[in-house]
Structure 1
Amino acid sequence: MPNVKHMKWWGWGVEGVGFHHEDKPGMAPFVIKAIDLDLNEAPELSVDFDALDIPEPKIGPDLLALLTDIVGADNAISEPMDRIVHTYGKSMRDLVRLRNGDIPRVPDIVLYPADEDEVQQIVDAAVDADAVLIPFGGGSNIAGSLEAPPGETRPVISLDLGRLNKVIDVDETSGLARIQAGALGPDLEEQLGQRGWTLGHFPDSFTHSTLGGWVATRSSGMQSDKYGDIAQIARGLRVVQPGKLLVLRPLPGYSTGPSVREMILGSEGRLGVITEVTVQVHRLPEERVVLGYLFPSWESGLDAMHAISVSDATPSITRVSDSRETGFSFATRKKKPGFSLSSMISKGLMSVLEKRGWDLDQVCLSFIGYEGSKEHVARQKKLVKDIVSKHGAIVLGKGPGELYDQKKFDTPYIRDFLLDRGAAGDVSETAAPWSQLKTLYYAVVAAANSAFDEIGVKGWIMCHLSHSEHSGACLYFTFAFKFSQDDPLKEYDVVKQAIQQAFVDNGGTLSHHHAVGVEHAPWLAEDLSPAGAELMSGLFTSFDPKGNFNPGKITG
């Protein structure tokens, strides 16, 4: 069995790690008020692997022998657990189906190649046998990018790149690092850090996602304001295709027609298997600090983030939560009974807020990060303080920022916690120009609330702004509700579809960084225009006429 890390089959993260509310006294009252879910009742958790009806592998002996010969018997796995781990990603739909035993098409074999040459042999063998090949990184995708088509009759191969996990080389003059595509976030940062470098890419899924997965889904990290998203970070690529290897050098610029690099970015395995990425890296900063701020309203917070984006300030993180997400953040803090906003800040500041006439139910928590030399950080903090002060904000200091840094990768565990108790907790994100963000925000909230009313539940939707750019920003929505009937995915679809439709109806994109997969494919033509969707479909069909490479993703 290869030494490759995987998440637990039924949820996020590793076995033994989960979200708990007992040490957060504000959590239970908040949740019962928000979605009428009593956390003091026993969870409805029912996950029994042995109860799953896992179909037998559907792969002929000749192909099985050939693939086993390529990677070795220890790296060609057809055990039920490995196959189930590679069946879906980690979306709400994925987890509900797994827990309900809805697994219509399980991969027939999981292969763990040791190098690019073995990947090439696997690709060629799979295409020759007319099999389906699905690249697999960390398995964290939440857009349905990993599942095989339900009615697929051909052999399905899950190609796990977990053994390709090395930082190969760093060009210290150019700040370019060659890294194998299967490297998980923590592993590649550790290897780069030993040499004094960082990639600076920290998505929510950082602990359990890979470089190749980031490229294949056009990922963004929490510090994209400084480092850029993966489309800006990835400079060169090596992609295995049938009978050949696509090599894109890490050039600073080029005028060679439509960008082939851009075609691979976000392609979700449909244009080949990414084996190596050359990325832009940066020296570890001398200083890094995340400060907390408090705004009197959501509108003032949005206006401040916009002002920062067009100023001389260059923070690494610009994030502000609406009042509903701010309330949730306060409710999930480990505090003594009686915790309130006033216990988080000094009595002097409370007095100031009261004199300013702040409505404490409308306040919005913000995190802004700074990196670089001490002089640079000091100047950036001063520039930002001047801007946010003009928009009525107060500085809370390092405490909230340090807590944000400690907990930033833990949020996905809350989804499992709610699912164990018969409730949905999920996310959808979009991006739009600054001029349309407020209209978009209120339209999405209204659409979600209408959907909650339609299915007859008490629901909750909250939002934060992240990933600011000069022309616009990402709005990241989280929604939750308690399932009311025996068909949870039917209810979930009503809410999810309402939110997604509100995105494209109000100037947003179908997804800023979670990819298309099958979850978001229905909105592709509205997002790109029918002509754009047709162009993309033509690209995939031209490259892969038989549909061997992760069929059904993006364009359906």
Structure 2
Amino acid sequence: MFSNGSKDDSQRVNATPLATQPPKEKEAGSDKCLMSDRREVGVTLRNTKPKPKKVRSAIPKHRQELLKWNGWGYKDSQFVVKDGIIHFTGSRYPIGDVPLPYFTEWVKDVLDVNLDIKRESQSLIRAKDYPEPHLDKESHEAVVQLVELANKYNVVIIPFGGGTSVSGAVSCPSQERRTIMSLDTSQMNRILWLDRNNLLVCCEAGIIGQDLERELQSQGFTAGHEPDSYEFSSLGGWVATRASGMKKNVYGNIEDLLVHVKLVTSRGVLEKSGQVPRMSCGPDFNHVVLGSEGTLGVITEVVIKTRPLPECKRYGSIVFPDFESGVACMREIALQRCQPASVRLMDNEQFKFGQSLRQPTGYMGLLLEGLKKLYITKIKGFDLDTLCVATLLFEGDRKTVESQEKRIYEIADHFGGVPAGEKNGERGYMLTFVIAYIRDLGLEYNVVAESFETSVPWDRTLSLCNNVKHRLSQECQDHGIKKFLISCRVTQTYDAGCCVYFYFGFSSKGLADPLATYELLEEHARDEILASGGSISHHHGVGKLRAKWFPHQVSETGVELYQATKKELDPKNIFANGNLTFRSKL
């Protein structure tokens, strides 16, 4: 399973380099039809060596030219206060360059924010926690050489991809006394080949999600992997954390997409021979790499599945009288295995929060909103303080999408659900990429907020949600916190359970150390999650923040198995980022 370099792909069959012509897109009714050139899919090229394509990334080599160093996302995109009203700057997102009066009132009411008193922005990043010096490498072979040198001179390597981790995964372990080097993989972003017949693409691990998808779509394909961090996270990071995307129902989680991976370890390169769809050949070493979080080596090259671009894409939404009805509907949809590409259920608190981010409308817009509210509350009898909303995304050929829409809305009707329109569904889906920016605004006005997630069996979903909300509410009261928000949503569904995503924030007025308080409260929430039958993480990974619960989740024997694997692959512990088992004895 070990090799000392990359395989020669010169004899690869059906592998073609990427071209640059994008697919044609046209509007057809309310859905978008992507008219890709499918004729090229069947082309067979034999005995040709494709030329790898260096991708011009949307993220520059020097990230701080475009991205914030002390917050989330693009410099030109942020929530700001102008004349007492919150705005979102820039034009990258649908809510850009417009006033948000409803959101302004929401933050005042829910979190007791005084927009007249702004404190100096404080980053959650502690500079001393992150490694120097910083090196970037541009090929698998260069990484092999670097790891050999680090192993020789006993230098610690922390691989760095997109930098979107929320688990402390790329921070330095405080007890490490050796030199620590951050290995930036962002310049390793070539697409090495695209196999049109077998629907595979081979990329270097540093390629960013939005770049990968843009290049694939230019050829009429898609990976379909779209995590919330998709704009900034890397392919290698997805593999290292066992990531999940919003459209996993059609395209799968990263473990479903992964066909082949190269991991550069202290002992050599770990990879499987061949790229067949499945093999019965002992333990699958892909799953040693998946979720390894930079503790075993550096991921350099990844082969994943692709799909032809869907012919049609449609959004939808459903209003339910309460969260319990919505969860029951989600369970039934999963039971019948008819999930659309994405189906996500927001609780009432998150519904109100999302509604507050809507743009102001004119007279006719207000009239229409009033009529919708009248229909939901008076005719359907829904209570605005209990109702919840599911957002939907359908992808596929037109006939399949229409059939799926019909089936989903029929199931929803059995649970009291009412269709709420395509625009609400699209808006809810797109707002996912904006929500992360709110944390930075909060820090300027004494609000600390973050998200965390879990996976849970269906029969314990409601009790887990209720228990975590109750526990955090009680903890806030015990710590003298009067204004806080605890909301949740169901984001991914499976036969046996679902993923639940929590948003938690509070006014930090009067607290001596707001960040320490938040970390303590989230720790209590995690204890409650485990006691209620949930996992320590569905897709964010373990990192350092959740390492204390790792033995509980995998058993002491599981920890020993992992430690034995690490000792074999990394005997000098140069990949000592401290993730998974923070108090490693290696």
Length-normalised TM-score, structure 2: 0.82
Q: CA deviation at 1:31?
A: 1.9
Deviation per residue, 1:396-435 (Å, 9 max, x gap): 1111122234333121111111112221110010011111
Quote the residue 1:74 is aligned against: none
Q: Is 1:270 matched up with 2:295?
A: yes
Could you tell me how far apart the structure 2 residues matched to 1:361 and 1:339 are? Answer: 25
On the 8 A contact 1:133/1:157 being kept in 2, the answer is: yes
Could you tell me how far apart the structure 2 residues matched to 1:14 and 1:358 are? Answer: 39
Quote the residue 1:495 is aligned against: 521
Could you tell me how far apart the structure 2 residues matched to 1:106 and 1:386 are? Answer: 52
Quote the residue 2:421 is aligned against: 397
The amino acid of 1:467's aligned partner reads Q
Quote the residue 1:461 is aligned against: 486
Q: Is 1:184 matched up with 2:244?
A: no
Deviation per residue, 1:328-379 (Å, 9 max, x gap): 1111211249999x86657267336423322121110110111111101000
Quote the residue 1:432 is aligned against: 456
Higher helix share: 1
Could you tell me how far apart the structure 2 residues matched to 1:204 and 1:165 are? Answer: 20
On the 8 A contact 1:105/1:151 being kept in 2, the answer is: no
Question: Any gaps of 5 or more consecutive residues in structure 2?
Answer: 1-59, 81-85, 88-98
Q: Is 1:103 matched up with 2:179?
A: no
Q: Map 1:316-331 onto structure 2 (within 5 A).
A: 316-331=341-356
Select 1:218's aligned residue among 217, 242, 263: 242
Deviation per residue, 1:136-159 (Å, 9 max, x gap): 111110101001112322111111
Select 1:10's aligned residue among 45, 61, 70: 70
- Structure 1 counterpart SS, 2:411: helix
Alignment CA distance shift 1:252-1:130 (3 Å): same
Q: Is 1:42 matched up with 2:117?
A: yes
Select 2:175's aligned residue among 151, 155, 160: 151
- Structure 2 counterpart SS, 1:208: coil
Q: Map 1:46-57 onto structure 2 (within 5 A).
A: 46=121
Deviation per residue, 1:106-148 (Å, 9 max, x gap): 4221111121111011111011111110001111101010011
On the 8 A contact 1:345/1:396 being kept in 2, the answer is: no
On the 8 A contact 1:268/1:550 being kept in 2, the answer is: no
Identity of aligned residues (%): 31
Quote the residue 1:302 is aligned against: 327
On the 8 A contact 2:170/2:577 being kept in 1, the answer is: no
Could you tell me how far apart the structure 2 residues matched to 1:413 and 1:106 are? Answer: 22
Q: CA deviation at 1:14?
A: 2.2
Quote the residue 1:202 is aligned against: 226
Could you tell me how far apart the structure 1 residues matched to 2:311 and 2:423 are? Answer: 20
On the 8 A contact 2:354/2:428 being kept in 1, the answer is: no
Alignment CA distance shift 1:119-1:537 (3 Å): same
Q: Map 1:226-265 onto structure 2 (within 5 A).
A: 226-248=250-272, 249-265=274-290
On the 8 A contact 1:25/1:336 being kept in 2, the answer is: no
On the 8 A contact 2:489/2:501 being kept in 1, the answer is: yes
- Structure 1 counterpart SS, 2:391: strand
Q: Is 1:171 matched up with 2:246?
A: no
Alignment CA distance shift 1:220-1:312 (3 Å): closer
Q: CA deviation at 1:253?
A: 1.4
- Structure 2 counterpart SS, 1:370: strand
Could you tell me how far apart the structure 2 residues matched to 1:283 and 1:344 are? Answer: 39
- Structure 2 counterpart SS, 1:524: helix
Quote the residue 1:549 is aligned against: 575
On the 8 A contact 2:223/2:307 being kept in 1, the answer is: yes
Q: CA deviation at 1:537?
A: 2.9
- Structure 1 counterpart SS, 2:100: coil
Quote the residue 2:37 is aligned against: none
Q: CA deviation at 1:473?
A: 0.5
Deviation per residue, 1:234-272 (Å, 9 max, x gap): 111011122522223432112222221111001011111
Quote the residue 2:410 is aligned against: 386
Alignment CA distance shift 1:166-1:374 (3 Å): same
The amino acid of 2:77's aligned partner reads V
Quote the residue 1:66 is aligned against: none
Could you tell me how far apart the structure 1 residues matched to 2:61 and 2:69 are? Answer: 17
Q: CA deviation at 1:321?
A: 0.3
- Structure 2 counterpart SS, 1:408: helix
Alignment CA distance shift 1:348-1:152 (3 Å): closer
Quote the residue 1:26 is aligned against: 102
Q: CA deviation at 1:34?
A: 2.0
* RMSD, aligned α-carbons: 2.0
The amino acid of 1:200's aligned partner reads G
